[in-house]
Structure 1
Amino acid sequence: MQSAVRLIAARGSGSGNTAVYRSAVEIKLNPGWKTYWRYPGDSGVPPAFDFSKSENVKSASVLFPAPSLFEDGAGGHSIGYKKAVLLPVHVVPKDPKKPAVLRAKIDYAVCEKLCVPADANLELTLPGTDSANDTVVDTAEALLPKMSSVGDGGTLAIRAAHKEAGKGKPKIVVDVAAPAGAAPVLYAEGPDAKWALPVPEPMAGAPAGLQRFTFELDGLPPGENGAGATLRLTAVAGDKAVEALFRLD
């Protein structure tokens, strides 16, 4: 076995119509193995979650801590996790006065030199009052990228983004501010899983104190030119991460 998966529960938040039962999917990996983010980059398989057989669950949202960038062995880069990872799951119950039974079918991949498909069928009752795993779930939630806007200030921020016309396909240019001594990494996602944007690459030419990234507007669905689409940009530096939405002209 190259990996193991389990569900854990933590104390819920809110009450009544705002109640949320907090849980997490924990993926443990053997040394040297890795698994993938919601967008795997140039190669890889993103995890898929099916909660349709759950009880008293109105919705279940899987949240992803900031990932790492690594070479995929084929000249490109993949995006994911090299160590054990906790993916927080926020569950909205149909009836907040009753426990929820979370049943999760999970399909994912783990890779060393070759990728191996993996799956798990898990079940956990969520009363909304569990507290034994509060600390580990709190820690996982603290690693989630913070929502921001293009142009925000701060030590880690996506300061600017624009589209440039070129001889070939248009390019997206993004300037990122990061704490002193930290080398930021940028990820770009399209509006849905049909998009497969390239991994942004660092380049010269940014104003002082910023790192500039660029990527071609490539990997779009057939017949799509990108006009009016909203991209999600995620900047990571150390244990900090921010996300911002950028609408294409």
Structure 2
Amino acid sequence: MKTLVPPHLAFALLAALCASSWFATPACAQDASSWQQDSHSQLRLLAGSRSGTVLLGGIVLQLQPGWHTYWRNPGDSGVPPRFDFSKSDNIEAVTVLWPAPTKFDDGAGGHSLGYHDQIVLPLRIVTKNADKPVILRADISYAVCEKICIPVDAKAELPFTSVASTEDQTLFAALDTVPKPANIGDPNPLTIRDVKRDGQSVVVDVATPDARDVNLFVEGPTPDWALPIPMPDAHSPPGVKRFSFALDGLPPGAKPDGAALKFTLVGTDKAYEFNVNLQ
């Protein structure tokens, strides 16, 4: 006697199988490109559901144990990934959305910011015409590092064809790891309470219910600003984790007055992004 699986359970089962790192079937292939492999990592594209002019996609990057790659700001050392989507069909713009990074020793006395194991970078894709075929083509350059760094160049392409993609669950989960926009003093348990300039240093007070696993990162107005990673103060006031950093690494001729800084505050299970004009 045959057992019939209800359609909604069959779809859920297929989605779970397709989310598996090494599973591949023709049904999965329509929503995920083939893996592009090198010696220490592999990469592929994901396509979300096809609906409207703004689509959700993703880049999956898997790394061998002990290897890492970098965030958009690599920290004290490293190379950020670079993306070129210009060869895509019927795509106006692609925005890479960055999950909160991890801080780790760079092996040279400093710290790098990036990812281990597997990371899914969500993509916000604006199409030119919602009624025409969409093909995402990506040229991606990144570094994979253990004790040494190895540059990787990968190419991948994927059409967006599914009204209900099997990768939607994976993509929505990745979106949850992207820091949420916030403002100074927001009534969240984890927030930036104050940002002050003290001569050639900046002091940032963070309100947090648990100061043990909180990190703060800062970026300047343009990628050529190389501001140091804010370091915690061992003598922070009660209920506050205080960070500070020197105004070093500015490009020639740049002034800190009024500079638009971006702070990324990362806690155990929440992360927020703050845009602040330095006074």
Structure 2 residue runs of 5 or longer lacking an equivalent are 1-38
- Which AA in structure 2 matches 1:84? Q
1:103 pairs with 2:137: yes
Q: CA deviation at 1:235?
A: 0.6
- Which AA in structure 2 matches 1:27? L
Alpha-carbon distance in structure 1 between the residues aligned to 2:244 and 2:163:
46
Alpha-carbon distance in structure 2 between the residues aligned to 1:196 and 1:58:
30
Q: 1:112-127 counterparts in 2 under 5 A?
A: 112-127=146-161
Q: CA deviation at 1:130?
A: 4.1
Distance 1:159 1:128, change over 3 A: farther
Q: 1:47-86 counterparts in 2 under 5 A?
A: 47-86=81-120
Q: Is the 8 A contact 2:211 2:241 kept in 1?
A: no
1:25 pairs with 2:59: yes
Q: CA deviation at 1:205?
A: 4.1
1:139-160 Cα offsets, whole Å, 9 max, x none, are 1000110100112121111111
Partner of 2:126: 92
1:142-200 Cα offsets, whole Å, 9 max, x none, are 011010011212111111111111xxxx1111111223365210000011111111011
Q: Number of residue pairs matched?
A: 241
Higher strand share: 1
Higher-Rg member (1/2)? 2
TM-score (norm 2): 0.83
Distance 1:195 1:181, change over 3 A: closer
Q: CA deviation at 1:210?
A: 1.3
After superposing the two structures, state which structure 1 stretch, 172-181 or 35-44, moved more: 172-181
Q: Is the 8 A contact 1:182 1:237 kept in 2?
A: no
Partner of 1:224: 254
RMSD between aligned alpha carbons?
A: 1.3
> What is the aligned counterpart of 2:236 among 195, 199, 206?
206
Distance 1:129 1:178, change over 3 A: farther
Residue 173 of structure 2 aligns to a residue whose secondary structure is helix
Segments of 4+ moved more than 4 angstroms: none
TM-score (norm 1): 0.93
Alpha-carbon distance in structure 2 between the residues aligned to 1:194 and 1:95:
35
> What is the aligned counterpart of 2:221 among 170, 175, 191?
191
Q: CA deviation at 1:29?
A: 0.2
Q: Is the 8 A contact 2:49 2:160 kept in 1?
A: no
Alpha-carbon distance in structure 2 between the residues aligned to 1:7 and 1:130:
16
Structure 1 residue runs of 5 or longer lacking an equivalent are none
Residue 11 of structure 1 aligns to a residue whose secondary structure is coil
